[in-house]
């Protein structure tokens, strides 16, 4: 039996959420204009933009925001769901109603929810602020576990790197061209005939040696493992699953057979706890031959994708454990698969090391198992532009470790598009270059020298920013706040920001406005917050908040600004991967507020890989500038964790008056100064202990 319900959002004209759709961030009215927003997980390659069509994942979560308050609802139903959004049109009757109720008719949205099966199970989050909604939703569906640091760095992927020599060559190419990266990925061709948990015996004859060579340099590898299982009596996963009755059944009660990459395939029933346990066991080193603890996993095609099925997925009358029809749980299948893989990684290290698992299909709560990407996008400017609203929609819906394939999966981006995409993606949570096998090779050094330099600089910038991303993801696990967030998240009463699709924040510290159109020589930038100032991240030029400006850009530039009143921790030394930054010193950039009296910011440090931080092995600290005193205090830790990291440089921007001296107790600190900026070099402070300095005027 189908179920439905209507919800009127009084006092709201901006609503967001309902991922996944390649459309604007703010949800558009659909009633009598287009199809409703459809939530039904499907394998849709080369998907259309500006369209409410269903894509790879579904989160039936909607968040409404106004200058006064924020609220949200979760329609907890994993069957096919449609949501109509209506902006009521005014009329004589509505005007009378508005007058009597003292409410403006246009300041509301009416939404109509319909699901094919299931029950009405609705949760409301009443805010009143975005951060409150995020905390409330996190209590309901969970948060993203702190990722291992390497997974926040740069990933290089292609369908497919051909063999071990190809992997070795690409790895060496990054070193030769001084471009850092952390993870190289292998697509389906690395297997023995599309049999997952195997290796092609000719092309990848010594997988452990290949992985260990990468590990010796501080790098990792990811291989793809999909939910379809090749029907081959000589393939151990199939023979075991078939013998144990672990496959989804068709309507006759026989094992369901569909067509996917291996040809004839069957699909494991991840709603069966015994199957989930079995799948997790396959990641043990003695089961996945040729693997090591530094091999991680990519779960693709988990909608599930069935090439010869209706809409390229499974028939709705297929049966799961307990005689459950697939139509009842379709949108949940991908998450159950993702979670089983995550559990396998946990078991592999006896729960000591943090897993990294990327998946394509998702539902509310998928954030508990790792990263999500936006699927098979295209090398097209509209796909570049839509990445921001798609990732924002996911982020405010609790799925925060997200990214889009850099350069577009299908097609061949020109040099300008490559430059602009790397500039944009360097400030998004999951940062991976990926391409189809029919696309030209895209290793950064294959582009002209100018674009190669731009890409190298942007990847290096990402590595310098890793302390920020790591801190934001630690805070995200604690309180649900999205690392990549809409501008209105921290400027809740700034109505000009409510419809922004071309800008976003990184935490509460950076405003990013990528260049999103071909041939652009300038961009329009809105600086939020009437009582806020912003500083160009590279030049420290100051901009007032609450205004819109047009700024000239070149191919090499992306406008990024640090919020006045914030403190940023970065690492500036160039390394070939994140593991080699562990002992590097920090640069602290203090961007003072409008009155030049205050700024603060947090930093998080741990061993970058294990769960020891959950038992006290961490440093979580706050730096604060307050009326001429800059202090650094530990909020948590260090417990049994020690770090040799120290402070190499402190930069303070936005000073209305430059100090005569700066002292650490009785010790004078040396500093240089320029207009409204000072730099303290090698102040000899350590990151695992408190310190403070005083500015004398």
CA–CA dist 254, 262 (Å, integer) = 20
Q: What is the mean pLDDT of residues 366-373?
A: 99
CA–CA dist 174, 217 (Å, integer) = 12
Candidates 300, 405, 475, 502; catalytic one? 300
Tell me, what's the pLDDT at 32? 84
Query: Is 624 part of the annotated catalytic residue set?
Result: no
Tell me, what's the pLDDT at 281? 99
CA–CA dist 498, 647 (Å, integer) = 38
Q: Which residue from 18, 86, 21 is spatially nearest to 52, judged by alpha carbons?
A: 21
Q: What is the mean pLDDT of residues 323-347?
A: 99
Beta bridge partners of 10: 108
Q: Angle of helix 130-141 relative to helix 466-479, nearest 10 degrees?
A: 70
User: Residue 648 above 90 pLDDT?
Assistant: yes
CATH 2.60.40.1180 fits 471-697, yes or no: yes
Give Cβ neighbours of residue 557 (< 8 Å, ≥ 6 apart).
515
Tell me, what's the pLDDT at 94? 47
User: Residue 170 above 60 pLDDT?
Assistant: yes
Are domains 3-141 and 471-697 of this chain identical in fold? yes
User: Residue 418 above 60 pLDDT?
Assistant: yes
| Whether pTM exceeds 0.85 | yes
Tell me, what's the pLDDT at 96? 47
Strand 263-267 relative to strand 258-260, pairing: antiparallel
DSSP 451-483: HHHHHHHHHHHHHHTHHHHHHHHHHHHHH---S
Query: Is 303 part of the annotated catalytic residue set?
Result: yes
CATH 2.60.40.1760 fits 3-141, yes or no: yes
Give Cβ neighbours of residue 432 (< 8 Å, ≥ 6 apart).
154, 155, 156, 157, 185, 373, 403, 405, 406
**Mean pLDDT, the chain, whole residue set:** 97
pLDDT digits (tens, 9 = 90+) for 45-60: 899 999 999 999 999 9
User: Residue 93 above 50 pLDDT?
Assistant: no
Tell me, what's the pLDDT at 33? 86
Backbone angles phi, psi at 96, to 5 degrees: -65, -45
Domain boundaries, the chain: 3-141, 471-697
Query: Is 300 part of the annotated catalytic residue set?
Result: yes
Tell me, what's the pLDDT at 100? 52
CA–CA dist 132, 203 (Å, integer) = 52
Q: What is the mean pLDDT of residues 6-35?
A: 96
Candidates 43, 303, 328, 475; catalytic one? 303
Give Cβ neighbours of residue 166 (< 8 Å, ≥ 6 apart).
none
Tell me, what's the pLDDT at 92? 44
Tell me, what's the pLDDT at 461? 99
Candidates 84, 163, 187, 376; catalytic one? 376
Q: What is the mean pLDDT of residues 559-576?
A: 98
Note the maximum CA span of the chain: 85
């Amino acid at each position: 039996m189908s179920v439905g319900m209507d919800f009127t959002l009084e006092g709201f004209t901006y609503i967001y959420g309902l991922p996944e759709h390649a459309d604007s961030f703010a949800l558009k009215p659909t009633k009598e204009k287009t199809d409703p927003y459809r939530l039904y997980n499907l394998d849709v390659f080369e998907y259309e933009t500006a369209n409410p069509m269903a894509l790879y994942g579904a989160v039936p979560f909607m968040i409404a925001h106004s200058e006064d308050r924020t609220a949200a609802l979760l329609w907890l139903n994993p069957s096919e769901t449609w949501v109509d959004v209506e902006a009521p049109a005014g009329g004589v009757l509505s005007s009378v109603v508005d007058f009597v109720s003292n409410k403006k008719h246009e300041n509301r949205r009416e939404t109509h929810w319909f699901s094919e099966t299931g029950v009405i199970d609705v949760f409301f989050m009443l805010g009143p602020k975005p951060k409150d909604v995020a905390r409330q939703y996190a209590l309901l569906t969970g948060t993203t576990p702190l990722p291992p640091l390497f997974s926040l760095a740069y990933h290089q992927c292609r369908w497919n790197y051909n063999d071990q020599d190809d992997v070795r060559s690409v790895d060496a190419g990054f070193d030769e061209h001084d471009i850092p990266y952390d993870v190289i990925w292998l697509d389906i061709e690395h297997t023995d005939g599309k049999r997952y948990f195997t290796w092609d015996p000719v092309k990848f004859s010594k997988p452990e040696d290949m992985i260990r060579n990468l590990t010796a340099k501080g790098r990792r590898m990811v291989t793809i493992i999909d939910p379809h299982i090749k029907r081959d009596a000589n393939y151990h996963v199939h023979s075991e699953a078939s013998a144990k009755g672990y496959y989804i059944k068709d309507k006759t009660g026989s094992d369901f057979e569909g067509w996917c990459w291996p040809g004839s395939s069957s699909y494991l029933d991840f709603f069966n706890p015994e199957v989930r346990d079995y799948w997790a066991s396959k990641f043990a080193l003695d089961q996945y031959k040729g693997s090591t603890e530094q091999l991680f996993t990519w779960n693709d095609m988990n909608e599930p994708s069935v090439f010869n099925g209706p809409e390229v997925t499974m028939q709705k009358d297929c049966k799961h454990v307990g005689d459950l029809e697939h139509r009842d749980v379709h949108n949940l299948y991908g998450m159950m698969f993702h979670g089983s893989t995550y559990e396998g990684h946990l078991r592999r290290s006896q729960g000591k090391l943090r897993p990294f698992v990327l998946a394509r299909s998702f539902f509310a709560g998928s954030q508990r198992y790792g990263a999500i990407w936006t699927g098979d996008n295209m090398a097209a400017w509209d796909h570049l532009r839509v990445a921001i609203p798609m990732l924002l929609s996911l982020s405010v819906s609790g799925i925060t470790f997200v990214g889009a394939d850099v350069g577009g999966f299908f097609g061949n981006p020109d040099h300008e598009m490559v430059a602009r995409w790397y500039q944009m993606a360097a400030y998004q949570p999951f940062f991976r270059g990926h391409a189809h096998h029919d696309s030209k090779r895209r290793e950064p050094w294959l582009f002209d020298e100018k674009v190669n330099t731009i890409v190298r600089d942007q990847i290096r910038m990402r590595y310098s920013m890793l302390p920020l991303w790591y801190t934001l993801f630690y805070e995200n696990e604690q309180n649900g706040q999205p690392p990549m967030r809409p501008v209105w998240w921290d400027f809740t009463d700034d109505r000009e920001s409510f419809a922004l699709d071309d800008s976003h924040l990184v935490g509460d510290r950076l405003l990013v406005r990528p260049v999103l159109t071909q041939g652009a020589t300038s961009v329009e930038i809105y600086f939020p917050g009437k009582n806020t100032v912003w500083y160009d991240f590279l030049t420290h030029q100051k901009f007032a908040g609450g205004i819109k400006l047009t700024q000239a850009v070149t191919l090499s530039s992306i406008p990024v600004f640090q919020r006045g009143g914030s403190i940023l921790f970065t690492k500036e030394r160039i390394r070939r991967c994140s593991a080699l930054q562990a002992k590097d010193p920090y640069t602290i950039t203090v961007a003072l507020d409008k009155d030049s009296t205050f700024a603060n910011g947090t930093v998080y440090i741990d061993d970058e890989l294990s769960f020891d931080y959950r038992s006290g092995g961490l440093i979580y600290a706050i730096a604060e500038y307050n009326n001429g005193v800059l202090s650094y205090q530990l909020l948590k830790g260090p417990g049994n964790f020690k770090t040799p990291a120290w402070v190499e440089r402190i930069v303070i921007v936005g000073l209305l008056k430059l100090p005569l001296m700066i002292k650490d107790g009785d010790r004078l600190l040396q500093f240089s100064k320029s207009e409204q900026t000072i730099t303290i070099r090698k102040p000899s402070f350590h990151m695992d202990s408190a310190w403070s300095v005083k500015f004398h005027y």
